Every structure is written in C-alpha cells, then in structure tokens.
Amino acid sequence: MKEYRIPQNDAGMRLDKFCARVLKNAPYSFIFKMLRKKNITLNGKKAKGNELLQPEDLVVFYLSDETIASFGRETADALSWENDPYEPEVVFENEQLLIVNKPDGMLSQKAGANDRSMNEYCIRYLTKNGSYNPSDPAAFKPAVCNRLDRNTSGLMLIAKTHAAASMLAKALRDRSMDKYYACIVKGTIREAFVLNGYLKKDERTNTVTIVPDATGADRIETAFEPLSDQNGLTLLNVKLVTGKSHQIRAHLASIGHPILGDPKYGDSNFNREYGCKHQLLHAYRIKMPVLTDALSDLSGREFEISFPKEFSKYMRI
C-alpha cells in the first residue's frame, strides 16, 4: 500500500492523470479497474478518476509494493548517460520553472528511445540539483512547454511542477505569451510587415506548405521587423503570433526570403554561396503574460538572451 498527500503544486490535476504518473507503465484500463474496485481511493472514498485534486487530498493505492514498483519503473532514464558531459545553459530557475538556451542541432524532446534531447538533459540536471527525484513515482516529471525545431536554437521553458505546466500550456494556447525570434534571411527588407495565411502539414514527410485557403490547414500569423541589412542579407526580429510547426521558416520561404542555412525550406544555392550549413533561427526573447498563484512572481517578466556567435559571421550585430 502507498499513500500520497497531494501538494499545492499538483492542485487541479485530474485523479486519473495522477495515478498514471505513479503507475507510469500501467495501461489506463488497469487504473480504471483499480478505481472501480476501490483499490485506489480518494480521501477514503471510491472515485471515478475525473476528480480534480486539491491540496492535502489523500490518494491511497491498495496495491502491493511490488506491483507499484513494477508499474512505476522508468523505461528509459537520462541519468544513465554517465559519459555525456553536456550540461544545459540555464537562463533562469525557480521552484516552478527552468529556462534554458537550447543549442541548434539538439532535439527538444526525443523522437526515438535512444535519442538525447534537451528534455532529458534538463531532467538529469534537475535530478542532480535535487529539484526532481526520479525514484519517487508520484513526483512530477519535468516537461518541455515550448518545443523548438532541432535546428532552431534559443529559449526553452521546462515546467518543474504540474501548476507551471498547466498555466504555461494555457498561455501558449491562448497566445498571451509573446515569443520573439531572430533570423537572417535572403534579400533586403526595409519595412516591417505582417504575414497571414494557411499552413498545411504533411505528416509523412514532416514538411509544411503555405496554401491559399483553410481547407485541411491551420491559420497562421507572423510579424516581421527588419533590424539591419548587409550584403544582400537582412536580420529580422520575428514575433510569432500563432505557433505552428515550421511556421516562420515556411512563411519566409513562401515570399522569397528563406532563412540562411535552412536545409528544408531554404535556397540550397544561396546557402552554399554564403557557406552556411546551420539554420540561423534563434528564439531569443519571451515575455510572460499575467500569471497568478504559483507563478505570480513571473507575471509580466521578460527573458532575453544574445544571438548565437554564428550570426555575427554574416551580419554586424
């Protein structure tokens, strides 16, 4: 038997989600069966699983320690990378949130079992500093809030608590969090502009296309402001209004201003001409919206990092 007293940071989580966190490898059918049979109870009573947990609620698993250990065992753990020296570049950290600077070429989250992504590196970092205990099956596992493409560098938000994950997910979903990128593009641009359009994704090839109407597509909006231009290149400040996969890259390519070094939507001859093999797109600034409760101290705060050194090879910065 195991008992878990719900902490403040897990307030608002559904009971079935909490159970799935404790029993990481258990199918949902098993969890709901245990709820029906009162082998999992909430405050001493039978529960359905859709209840929203409150601080100090008591969840009891009337299961053997062996069963809980078996279902709770991690299947893959970044802590096993003993010979990998990489440590995340930490921009900010408090009890709720970790902000790091992801280098280009690194996945945000692993796509395969053997991948090493920023998420796993951050879990290892937080385990080392005592913020996360992987041996506690009820502990919230740190999670990426905003994913960046493998070849895009910059600010990534890692939630350390359920409260942070929920609130930041909402801010990203309702577009109240402002996200700014910098990129170097082909051609000279002298005036600020906003692009609206529709983006259609091909899951098979993991590519997107800008299309003329909404049929099978998502509406997108991107704002651009030129910061400087030099030698047929322009440094742009980009505000991501909507946040779809490959949005900035495809939008710019669609108007003849592909990002320098972009291997997928870029101009290969242009990239070779400038000798650029890395996509020059960088998430450099985030402005938080009004936040409450556990994240109130982050309300309205801005986080900004410098551009990668490679930008200065092609543009005076």
Per-position DSSP letters for 30-75, written without gaps between them: HHHHHHHTTSEEETTEE--S-PBP-TT-EEEE-S-HHHHHHHH--S
State residue 181 phi and psi, 5-degree precision: -125, 160
CB burial of 181-213 (b: ≥16 within 10 Å; e: otherwise) equals bbbbbbeebeeeeebebbbbbeeeeeebebeee
Query: What pLDDT, on the 0 to 100 scale, is given for residue 80?
Result: 59
Fold of 2-72: 3.10.290
Identify the burial level of 20 via C-beta atoms within 10 angstroms of its C-beta, where 0-12 means exposed, 13-18 middle and 19 or more buried: middle
Q: Please, are residues 286 and 243 in contact by the beta-carbon 8 Å criterion?
A: no
Domain spans, the chain: 2-72, 78-173, 178-313
Tell me which architecture the domain covering 178-313 has in CATH.
2-Layer Sandwich (3.30)
Q: How far is CA 77 from CA 67, 80, 115, 193, in A?
A: 20, 6, 11, 45
Query: What pLDDT, on the 0 to 100 scale, is given for residue 78?
Result: 47
Per-residue pLDDT of the chain (317 residues; tens, 9 = 90+): 899 999 887 888 999 999 998 998 899 999 999 999 999 999 999 999 999 999 999 999 999 888 888 887 654 454 556 678 899 999 999 999 999 999 999 999 887 767 789 999 999 999 999 999 887 878 888 999 999 999 999 999 999 999 999 999 999 999 999 999 999 999 999 999 999 999 999 988 889 999 988 898 999 999 999 999 998 999 999 999 998 989 999 999 999 999 999 999 999 999 999 999 889 999 999 999 999 888 999 999 999 999 999 999 998 87
Distance (Å, rounded) from C-alpha 114 to C-alpha 186? 36
Distance (Å, rounded) from C-alpha 286 to C-alpha 314? 25
Give residue for tokens 């890395």: 278
Query: What's at 65, amino acid-wise?
Result: D
Give residue for tokens 């242009």: 270
Query: What pLDDT, on the 0 to 100 scale, is given for residue 24?
Result: 85
CATH topology agreement for domains 78-173 and 178-313 = yes
Q: What is the DSSP letter of 286?
A: E
Instruction: Give domain 78-173's CATH superfamily.
Output: Pseudouridine synthase (3.30.2350.10)
Query: What pLDDT, on the 0 to 100 scale, is given for residue 84?
Result: 84
Q: What is the DSSP letter of 9?
A: G
